[in-house]
Amino acid sequence: MNASMDPTPALGAASLTGISAQQRQALYAAHIAGKFPDELGRYGPFGGRYVPETLIPAHERLEAGVKRWLRDPEFQAELQRELLQWAGRPTALSHAPKLSQRWGAEVWLKREDLAHTGAHKINNAIGQALLARRLGAKRIVAETGAGQHGVASAAACARVGLPCTVYMGAIDMERQAPNVGRMRLLGAKVVSVTSGDQTLRAAIDEAMRDWVANPDGTYYLLGSAVGAHPYPYLVRELQLVIGREARTQFQQQAGALPDVIVACVGGGSNAIGLFHPFIGDPSVAILGIEAGGIGMGLGENAAPLSSGRPGVLHGSYSMLLHDNDGQIQETQSISAGLDYPGVGPEHSLLLATGRVTYEAANDDEALDAVRECCSCEGILPALESAHALAGARRWAATHPGKKILIGLSGRGDKDMPTLQRTLIAQLAAEQS
């Protein structure tokens, strides 16, 4: 652990209930003023850098690279060119007329499912791949849960000419088989992780072990706004394109800002990318929807913001699902991309300030949202995105007539093996 990156958390490690109203206001003011992350990589009490000594130089090189290149005009010009000409940006903002009628609200979808490789993950992957090349990396390692980040990483590495190894939990490889094939077609080596919970957490563990063993020539292309500084900041900056586009598009098409914006939250990259440009707009409510799994008991869900406590995981101090002994718990969700026991530190800050409300939608709600979106709008959403749809529908029921902007983070083609066993089987039974 880097001692210089390990100050005592400003608000202690006890519980968010101990934060006073004055502290919340101070944190919110600092946040909208752009003071987070600070020089220690913290978002108030959250974030920081808790990593093995062998990875400190790699993180410091990355931090220096982010400071040098992220605002560099030539880097930005190349990134914007790739986003426009290769990744398919800007993505559409689609009005959803039938959902609007059913919900009694005005519903709009930010269509990250239309981005190259089928999700928001490409925004981050191509940005980090371009950065890795400038940092002299010889190979890329990445982790993936739902497979979308793995596919995006494989595609981005093919684009920039770097070899790519993707670690994926054995359980996720089974339930997201189409994406495993796509990664291999794109030239990536896919490594099955059979240790731990065999899902996203275990995949991150193995990718980090690879990085520890090969810290000099390897670049770890982290897929979400989690991990040690500067990853949460870097991923947020690369995903801000979602919210910036959506803000402009919504004002042009709806003539005003939305009343609420809604996104699913696992690690939290699509959500922070959508939320951040609206944080300073007090008229816009913000709602993050986590994976409620099969219940709200420990081990039954993947909802650390709704039912977790602060702790350290994968290099960052944030909200986690752990027991009284501090042991990280296995998670449960029908959605592989949300099946993670932690969350990005900036989301923990947003929870602490009260600026964002976080709730959970369970597996059955997500499946019902998939069915409704398909039948009403002709759009097959990812199971991750379906959680946002379920949460938005719940919000609409108590806020009739309001304007709702939903982040549709990805498409559901990758979920067909899971949907075949659940929703499609139900539909077949109903039609027989």
Contact 395, 404 (CB under 8 A): yes
Question: Which residue among 63, 143, 206, 359 is the active-site one?
Answer: 143
As a whole number of angstroms, the distance between CA 268 and CA 274 comes to: 10
Assess contact for 271 and 349: CB atoms under 8 A.
no
Catalytic residue status for 143: yes
121 assigned to active site: yes
Report the half-sphere exposure of 202 (CA within 13 A, side-chain side).
19
Q: List C-alpha distances in Å: 134 to 56, 211, 382.
A: 19, 18, 33
Residues 6+ apart with CB under 8 A from 135: 61, 62, 65, 219
| Among 117, 116, 176, residue whose Cα is nearest residue 144 | 176
State both tokens at 76. 């930005």
CB 411 within 8 A of CB 380: yes
Angle at 375 between CA 374 and CA 381, to 5 degrees: 10
Can you say whether the dihedral through the CA atoms of 169, 236, 342, 385 is positive or negative?
negative
Beta strands in 196-306 (DSSP E): 218-220, 260-264, 285-293
SS3 70: coil
Most distant CA atoms of the chain, gap in Å:
65
Give which of 19, 22, 97, 40 is closest to 349, Cα–Cα.
19
What does the block give as tokens for 292? 């409620």
Please report where in the chains the tokens 């292309």 appear, as a residue. Answer: 221
Rg (CA), the chain: 20
Q: Read off the tokens for 374.
A: 């398909």
Of 121, 206, 333, 385, catalytic: 121
Say whether 409 is catalytic: yes
Alpha-helical (H) ranges within 161-230 are 170-175, 177-185, 200-213
- Catalytic residue list: 121, 143, 409
